[in-house]
Amino acid sequence: MLPTPYVKCDYDKVYEPAEDSFLLLDSLENEQIYLANRFQNKLAVVCELGPGSGIVSTFMMQNKMPSQNSIYLALDINPWALDATQDTAKRNDCNKVYLETIQSDLTSSTRHNQVDLLLFNPPYVPAETIPEIPETRDDIDTWLDLALVGGKDGMKITQLVLDQLDTTLSSEGVAYILFCARNRPEEVVKSMASHWDITLVEHRKAGWEVLSVYRFIRKTPH
């Protein structure tokens, strides 16, 4: 079993790792050999959207996934999450790994087709609206709401990422995205099946919610 990073953050400001975070870690652990084979010793660009505490990015860095030569980008809209991610990386002795934390609305700060491995545990809880992005760091309640609330069917943010997947991923790129049952992931799979190979990697009941992680790969590489 791969070690889970030690995390100590102010959970009034960033999302506290929960069942969804741990399901994503377990999925990535299951995929370790697959990813190592896919990227071998290639310089892989790993991009986590919404790192929150940094637990997932740090897990990847700690375990040198997908390859020894990977570099890591952690993009969050919440400025506190950027500090927390750097802090978690340091606490877990990842000081020598290349990690860039950037305040970014989803993938807006990445160049097209440069991401080899995209990871996302999104805000997926259905809600009527998603709050506006705060103008100040101090609006911590809103930053926390943004970690959870996913608009209609909980899919507003995830759908934006799926719509941009083709321009985000490199030719050999892979994405792992977490869904809850209310996001209706089976419909996502059907609607994207003509261009994407989509595999259910893990699913688990978490309280009254069923969570799942899917892997997305282009059918025809660019």
Alpha carbon distance 90, 96 (integer Å): 9
* Shortest CB 132 distance to ligand SAM, Å: 11
d(CA 135, CA 151) in angstroms, rounded, equals: 20
Among 45, 47, 65, 81, binds ligand SAM (CB under 6 A): 81
97 within 8 A of 72, measured Cβ to Cβ: yes
* Token duo for residue 93: 């002795």
Query: Which residue, among 136, 162, 165, has the nearest Cα to 150 in the 3D structure?
Result: 162
Q: Which two tokens stand for residue 164?
A: 């941009």
Nearer to ligand SAM among residue 24 and residue 99 (C-beta): 24
Q: Which stretch binds ligand SAM (CB under 6 A): 15-23, 32-40, 91-99, 214-222?
A: 15-23
Q: How many residues bind ligand SAM, per CB under 6 A?
A: 24
Tell whether residue 87 is a contact of ligand SAM (CB under 6 A): no
HSE-up of 145 (CA within 13 Å, CB side)?
A: 13
| 176 phi and psi angles, rounded to 5 deg | -120, 120
Smaller CB distance to ligand SAM: residue 78 or 170?
78
Three-state secondary-structure class, residue 148: helix
Contact between 89 and ligand SAM per CB under 6 A: no
**136 versus 220: smaller Cβ distance to ligand SAM:** 136
Binding of ligand SAM by 61 (CB under 6 A)? no
User: In the complex, what is the shortest distance from the CB of residue 147 to ligand SAM, in angstroms, rounded to a whole number?
Assistant: 4
Residues 17 and 26 sit within 8 Å (Cβ to Cβ): no
102-131 binders of ligand SAM (CB under 6 A): 105-106, 121-123
List contacts with ligand SAM (CB under 6 A).
15, 17, 21, 24, 49-53, 55-56, 75-78, 81, 105-106, 121-123, 146-147, 157
